[in-house]
Amino acid sequence: MPMHNAEIADAFEDLADLLEVEDANPFRVRAYRNAARVIRSNRRRIADLAAEDLTDLPEVGEDLAQKIRALVETGELPALEEVRKRVPQSISEMMRIEGLGAKKVKALYEGLGVKGLEDLKQAAEEGRVAELEGFGEKTQEMILERAADAAEKEQRSLRNDAEDVAEPLLAYLEAIDGVKQVELAGSYRRRKETVGDLDILVTAERGTPVMQRFVDYDEVAEVASRGDTRSTVHLRSGMQVDLRLLPQVSFGAALHYFTGSKAHNVAVRKLGRKRGYKLNEYGVFEGDQRIAGRTEEDVFASLDLPYIPPDLRENRGEIEAAREDRLPDMVRLGDIRGDLHCHTRYTDGHAGLRAMAEAARELGREYLAITDHTQNLKVVNGLDAKRLRRQMAEIDRLNDELEGITLLKGAEVDILEDGDLDLPDDVLQALDLTVCSLHSKFDLPRNQQTERVLRALDHPAFRILGHPTGRRLNQRPPLALDLEKVMRAAAERGRFLEVSAQPDRLDLNDEACLLARELGVQVAISTDAHTAADLDLMRYGLEQARRGWLEKKHVINTRTLKQLQKLLQN
């Protein structure tokens, strides 16, 4: 089983952590971290590229290329094994405690012989930490408080959960008398699929008690730090929130800086340096002279760049594209004309056909495909041919009656273990479209899983591959599938892939959308609604498609009903 990009990245992160504790050259440490970031976010499997020239990857030179090859081939990183002989691996787990970095961990290890979280907790309980030079009572208390939490795995929040926390807080801040601007920066603003913490930027009239009101917010469980221009709190929900109070004149620079991504910022700063400018969160400076900073548009303009939307700021070519005036014209919610995946009471949905149709019409959809499960999925009472025929007849009757919306006859057809589809051909052919999905045998080896999907793709009734990787955020990793191969086959056969808008799926994700664009596969952004209210989840799928540079022309449910029907005929 070839090594996953995340595993390779983890190995270099570990190496960086341990070297940092050893007080190695900080730039060397950073080089490993930079490479880990590049590897982790690369959409192709590094293990598969190992035969090619890995130095083509940014941040990867001769040395790292050789280390990656060794790691992929042997499963071991000799440099890491070397360091582990000198420093126990477990001490890096202490660095997960907020407020403990490499230097403090090194001091704890050398001064107290503490080797991991358990040791550390014990040392703190016995009061030995406070006695160590450079440490005190407060640090010891902090360690006691956080050691237990650090042992649990950190999880990022789903976007919709983060919104539930963020929106009321933003409204609270905006309502403070004297507050002028409130913006939520960070990965939240970039519309990333998950959110780690919230970075809020505020401008206000002089003397406005923003910080006091912020730490007084009802939902604040703990104030981690409080200053005149910056404070950090933890909310009851567990979410960390940073708030920064800024002068108007640098608001745009700060918004750009704290929106990130880090990789995007590094690339933009580099562009500035080439022109002799200095970029930081206060502005763009030529010598001591601030030449931009009030708005983000100013900041980009000072570098002769058009405005780059936050969704694209991942250093995936957006800066070059901006310079050459070929930024994508990303698909918008208003472009969406229909929804091609939903369920009803016939299987595991909670509303009837008419209710779903009317809810979709309320949202301005012109068509809605009814795609209930098929017989293989017993737990949800999947439809057999007979029941599906009955549903099709009911849809025909409803279509005669309904104004302003058309229901399409479809099914979410199970792809069986051998790649067959889960209904007889005649009934499949009678449908307007199929969404074909994997719901079983997630653990097949990569080759076999890929073959299974390729076989299904060959079926004449196959139209859309539903939630292609099967991942559930924070629950289930993507299944082993050669997505590139699948996409190439789909492009050849005129088939489509789904971008599921379910907040815990978002599948295809942003990077896979980029790949789809590159390989010429069109997608359907679908809600997979199980209730009438779910039909409004569309925006979450749209956000990931936009992050994946997809335009209106790449998304089949932006077509009129007539155009779509033509696309689905072949």
Partner DNA sequence: GCCGTTTTCGGCCCGACTGTTTTCAGTCG
- Return phi, psi of residue 474, to 5°: 65, 5
Tokens matching residue 558: 């932006």
- Return phi, psi of residue 442, to 5°: -70, -20
Measured from the CB of residue 98, what is the shortest distance to DNA in angstroms? 5
Yes or no: say if 232 and 240 are a contact pair by the CB < 8 Å rule: yes
Please measure the distance between the N-terminal and C-terminal CA atoms of the chain and give it in whole angstroms.
37
Tokens matching residue 125: 């309980």
Measured from the CB of residue 79, what is the shortest distance to DNA in angstroms? 7
Could you tell me how many residues of this chain bind DNA (CB under 7 A)? 59
Q: How far apart are CA 16 and CA 39, in angstroms?
A: 14
DSSP lists the bridge partners of residue 230 as 244
Q: Which of 155, 212, 225, 447 binds DNA (CB under 7 A)?
A: 225
Measured from the CB of residue 285, what is the shortest distance to DNA in angstroms? 9
Residues 60-99 as x/- pattern, contact with DNA by CB under 7 A: xxxxxx-------------x---------------x-xxx
Under rule CB under 7 A, residue 325 binds DNA: no
**The length of the chain, given as a count of residues:** 570
Name every residue whose Cβ is closer than 8 Å to that of residue 543 and which is 6 or more positions away in sequence.
159, 191, 311
Under rule CB under 7 A, residue 227 binds DNA: yes
Name every residue whose Cβ is closer than 8 Å to that of residue 453 and which is 6 or more positions away in sequence.
415, 419, 438, 465, 481, 486
Listed in order, strand segments (DSSP E) in 294-391 are 338-339, 367-373
Measured from the CB of residue 65, what is the shortest distance to DNA in angstroms? 6
Q: Name the segment binding DNA (CB under 7 A); options: 56-64, 113-121, 247-255, 366-374.
A: 56-64
The CA radius of gyration of the chain, in Å to the nearest whole number, is: 27
Residue number, 250 or 347, with CB nearest to DNA:
250
Residue number, 102 or 415, with CB nearest to DNA:
102
Tokens matching residue 189: 């603003």
Under rule CB under 7 A, residue 447 binds DNA: no
Q: How far apart are CA 53 and CA 36, in angstroms?
A: 17
Residue (of 387, 399, 376) closest to 345 by Cα position: 387
Residue ranges in 127-186 that form contacts with DNA under rule CB under 7 A: 130, 133-140, 142
Measured from the CB of residue 507, what is the shortest distance to DNA in angstroms? 28
Residue number, 31 or 117, with CB nearest to DNA:
31
Under rule CB under 7 A, residue 269 binds DNA: yes
Name every residue whose Cβ is closer than 8 Å to that of residue 467 and which is 6 or more positions away in sequence.
437, 498, 500, 502, 505, 507, 528
Q: Which of 2, 75, 101, 494 binds DNA (CB under 7 A)?
A: 101
Measured from the CB of residue 211, what is the shortest distance to DNA in angstroms? 8
Q: Name the segment binding DNA (CB under 7 A); options: 229-237, 370-378, 407-415, 464-472.
A: 229-237
Q: Name the segment binding DNA (CB under 7 A); options: 59-67, 368-376, 520-528, 550-558.
A: 59-67
Residue number, 68 or 336, with CB nearest to DNA:
68
Residue that has been written with the tokens 């058309």 in this structure: 406
Write the DSSP assignment of 274-321 as a string of letters: HTT-EEETTEEEETTEEEE-SSHHHHHHHTT-----GGGTTTSSHHHH
Measured from the CB of residue 288, what is the shortest distance to DNA in angstroms? 11
DSSP state of 2: P
Measured from the CB of residue 78, what is the shortest distance to DNA in angstroms? 11
Q: Which of 10, 59, 358, 484 binds DNA (CB under 7 A)?
A: 59
Residue number, 133 or 400, with CB nearest to DNA:
133
Q: Which of 42, 122, 240, 295 binds DNA (CB under 7 A)?
A: 240
Residue number, 138 or 236, with CB nearest to DNA:
138
Measured from the CB of residue 177, what is the shortest distance to DNA in angstroms? 22
Measured from the CB of residue 311, what is the shortest distance to DNA in angstroms? 19
Q: Which of 41, 42, 55, 89 binds DNA (CB under 7 A)?
A: 55
Q: How far apart are CA 561 and CA 337, in angstroms?
A: 8
Residues 20-49 as x/- pattern, contact with DNA by CB under 7 A: -----x-xx-xxx-xx--------------
Residue (of 433, 434, 431) closest to 420 by Cα position: 434
Residue number, 59 or 335, with CB nearest to DNA:
59
Q: Which of 199, 339, 372, 394 binds DNA (CB under 7 A)?
A: 199
Residue number, 232 or 450, with CB nearest to DNA:
232
Under rule CB under 7 A, residue 520 binds DNA: no
Q: How far apart are CA 267 and CA 437, in angstroms?
A: 39
Measured from the CB of residue 225, what is the shortest distance to DNA in angstroms? 3
Residue ranges in 537-566 that form contacts with DNA under rule CB under 7 A: none
DSSP lists the bridge partners of residue 279 as 284
Measured from the CB of residue 178, what is the shortest distance to DNA in angstroms? 18
Measured from the CB of residue 212, what is the shortest distance to DNA in angstroms? 13
Name every residue whose Cβ is closer than 8 Å to that of residue 236 and which is 6 or more positions away in sequence.
219, 220, 221
Residue (of 239, 246, 432) closest to 340 by Cα position: 432
Q: How far apart are CA 568 and CA 570, in angstroms?
A: 6
Yes or no: say if 421 and 462 are a contact pair by the CB < 8 Å rule: yes
Tokens matching residue 168: 């009321």
Footprint on this chain of DNA (rule: CB under 7 A): 25, 27-28, 30-32, 34-35, 55, 58-65, 79, 95, 97-105, 130, 133-140, 142, 197, 199, 225-231, 240, 242, 258, 266, 269, 273-274, 276, 278, 280-282
